[in-house]
Every structure is written in structure tokens, then in C-alpha cells.
Amino acid sequence: MNRKAIFAATGLALLAVFPLAVQNPYVLHLLIMTLLWVLLGQAWNLLGGFTGQISYGHAAFFGVGAYTTGILVKSGLSPAAAWSGLLLGGLMAALIASVIGWICFRLRGPYFSLSVLALAEVLRLVAVNWKQLTNGAEGILYIPAFRSKAHYYWIILAIAALAFVVIRAVMRSKLGFYFLSIREDQDAAESLGIDATKYKLYSLLISAFFTGAAGSFYMNYLGFIDPGIVFSIADISIMMILVTILGGAATLAGPIVGAVIYILVSEFFRVWFKSGHLIFFGILIIVIIIFFPAGIVGTIKERRAGRKLRRAGAARESAAA
């Protein structure tokens, strides 16, 4: 346990000082995007991997967060800083999530998934059509405040680390156990007196908050959003799921691994093949689901657990012999 903590702390420290050593904007950009996807993966994982509620519409929260910040800056209520609207974006996303949750949590399984997807699409159409508020399809653009990427890097690192700490703490608490029990068998959990809807909502609120914060950050960092980008099913909702299952749903390290691979692969394909990364992701999804359904981290954990059992069994045998 302690080894893990030291390892994690060292890793975090290294990450924190990285931009002091490396100033190359391109490298920093890749790291920032990776951290963004670590954040997104973790957020989805809480609701999907740990609580078993598969949402195909998390782009709704990302978009709400992004537009919260965008509208704040556009209307002059907030300067175009790297942290503009982060908190508010997360809160707005959580607010929308409470509405969506209230509507959709009566539904189970695939019906829940599809209804969130449907509502995310409705939000996208609202963003396209409510032009006075969102600029519609023209999108919102402003020049990012900081020229150096380091500030953005530290902010996303802080949020991603915060999400990690919070989610880890939640999963170790009673709340986490309730989430897991709901995932395993909602009816059994309810028969034990767990208010499934309440706890699903908690999970969703935390998940949406971090997703919204990620969206806000995205707006600040890239300086440009439009409804098709931030509410995108294919680029945001589905990729959040991919990142999580690639690394391993229901593990804490899974989204980290998944995000790293996602960004690396995307960039690799973009540079060397100009295109084709989507086919690769499609094949990757298929391969993972068929052969490594627990994702990379999950499969490793299973194998280690299997090895431990076998070693324990062998030890017992040799002791008995």
C-alpha cells in the first residue's frame, strides 16, 4: 500500500515539474490533452464502471461546462483566464445532470443509456438554435489568455488529480460500496434498504461535475467551441467510454492508461498515416471487448489475482505434501 502511495506521489511530482523542464508547446499540448482525457475517463468511470450506469450522453455535461465558460467570457462577466468558469461549469453540469438523472434514472440498463443519449442530442440542438445565448453554429471563440501552456497544464493536472483523489475516497467510503452494490444487482441493493435512485444520482452528480469542469477547461484552453464539437456523440461521449474500457472500467488506474493510449494513438495515426485512427479505435474496441473485457489494468489485476490464488494453492499443496 505504502509503495503505491510513494509511487503515485513521485509520479505526480514529476508531472508537476515537467513543464519547467520541457517548454515545447507541442509536447505540452499532448500532455494537456492526455490529462483532459484522464479527467473525462475518470468522471465517466465513476458512473459507468463503478455504479454500472452506462451513459452514452456524457457529452451533455461536457458541453454544458464548455458553454458555461464560453457564455461567461463572451458576455464579459469573466475574463478569458485559464480558470474562468471552471467551478461554475462543473456546477451547471451537475445541475443539468440532476434534471437528466431525475428523468432517466427510472429507467434501467440500455433504456437509461439511450435516454441520456437522447437528452444530450436535445441539448446539442438547443445550443445550435438558441443563438442569442450560444452563438449557435458559429460557436464561441476567444484567444486564450495565457501564451505559455504551462498554466493550462497545471490547472488540468490539478483538476485531474483532484478527481482521482475524490473518486478514490468516494469508492473507499460507504458511498462507494452502495455504488458497487447497485451495479451488481440494483434490486438486491434496494431490498437491503439502499435508495438506489438517490445514490445513482450522487454518482451522476460527481461524474457530471468533473465532466463539466473538463468542458470548461476545454473552452479556456482551446479558445473555440461549437455545438458540434462539445456535444459530439462520436468524439466525446463514445470516446469517454472507449478511454475507460480500454484502460479498464471500475479500476482507478484504468482511465489513466486509457487516456494515454488514446492520445498517443490518435497523434501517431494523425502524423504518420494522416487518417485511419478511427478504424483503429473501432478495431481496438472490438478486440478489447472480446479478448480483454476488463481492459488493460483490469486484465492485469485479474491475472495477478489468479497468480496469487495459484501460488496460494501451490503453497498449500507443498505444505500438505
Partner 1 sequence: MSPQLAGQIELLGQVLISGILLGGLYALIGLGMSLIMGVMKIINLAHGELMMVAMYMTYWAFTLWHVDPYVSLLIVCPLMFLLGVAIQKFLITPVMEAESILPQNQVLLTVGIGLVLANLALLLFTANYRSVPVSYASKTIYWDLKLGGQTISLSISYPFLTAFGIAVLLGAALFLFLGMTDLGRMIRATAQDKRAAALMGINTRKITYITFGIGAALVGAAGALLDPVYYLYPQIGGPFTNKAFVITILGGLGNIPGAVLGGLVLGLAESLGSVYVSLGYKDAFGFIIFVLVLIFLPRGLLGKGRAQ
Partner 2 sequence: MTTRKLFALLALAAAIGLFVPALPAPAEAKAFTVGIPLPLTGAEAKFGEMEKQAYDMAVDEINAKGGVNGVKLALDIQDSGGKPETATAIVEKFITINKYPIVVGEYTSQCSYAVAGVCEKYNVPYLVVTGAADKITQQGWKNVFRLNPPASLYNLGVFSFFEQVARPKTIAILYENTDFGNSTSKAMKDYCDSHGVYVVLSEGYQAGAVDFKPILQKVKSLRPDIVYMVSYLMDASLLMRQSKELDINPQAFIGGGAGHTLPEFLQNAAEASEYCMSATLWTPQVKYPGAKEFFDNFKKKFNKEADYHGAEAYAAAYVLADTLKRSKAATSDDLRASLAGTDMMTAFGPVKFVSWGQFTNQNKMDTLVLQVVGKKYETVWPSTAASAKFVYPVPRWRERK
Distance of CA 224 to the CA centre of its chain: 20
Considering just the CA atoms, what is the radius of gyration of the chain in Å? 20
Q: Does 125 contact partner 2 by CB under 8 A?
A: yes
Torsion of the alpha carbons at 98, 103, 106 and 111, rounded to the nearest 10: -110
Size of the site for partner 2 (CB under 8 A): 43
Nearest to 174 by CA among 194, 190, 197: 194
Q: Does 309 contact partner 2 by CB under 8 A?
A: no
Contact residues toward partner 1 (CB under 8 A) are: 48-49, 52, 54, 103-104, 106-111, 113-115, 117-119, 121-122, 125-126, 128-129, 183, 233-234, 238, 241, 245, 249-250, 275-276, 278-279, 281-286, 289-290, 293-294, 298
Whole-angstrom distance, CA of residue 208 vs CA of residue 47: 9
* Beta carbon nearer to partner 1, 138 or 162: 138
Whole-angstrom distance, CA of residue 233 vs CA of residue 275: 20
Torsion of the alpha carbons at 258, 264, 270 and 272, rounded to the nearest 10: -130
State the DSSP H helix or E strand holding residue 160, giving kind and residue range, or none if neither.
helix 150-172
Q: Rounded to whole angstroms, what are the CA distances from 271 to 265, 268, 274, 279?
A: 10, 5, 6, 15
Which of partner 2, partner 1, none does residue 144 bind to, with CB < 5 to 8 Å depending on kind? partner 2
- Binding residue (CB under 8 A) for partner 2 from 102, 109, 131, 165: 131
Region from 41-49, 55-63, 159-167, 261-269 binding partner 2, contact rule CB under 8 A? 261-269
Q: How far is the CB of 182 from partner 2 (least distance, A)?
A: 28
Whole-angstrom distance, CA of residue 257 vs CA of residue 124: 30
Q: Does 81 contact partner 2 by CB under 8 A?
A: no
Q: Does 121 contact partner 2 by CB under 8 A?
A: no
Residues binding partner 2 (CB under 8 A): 7, 11, 24-27, 29-31, 125, 128-129, 131, 136-139, 141, 143-144, 147, 222-224, 226, 229, 235, 253, 257, 260-261, 264, 267-268, 270-272, 274-275, 296-297, 300, 304
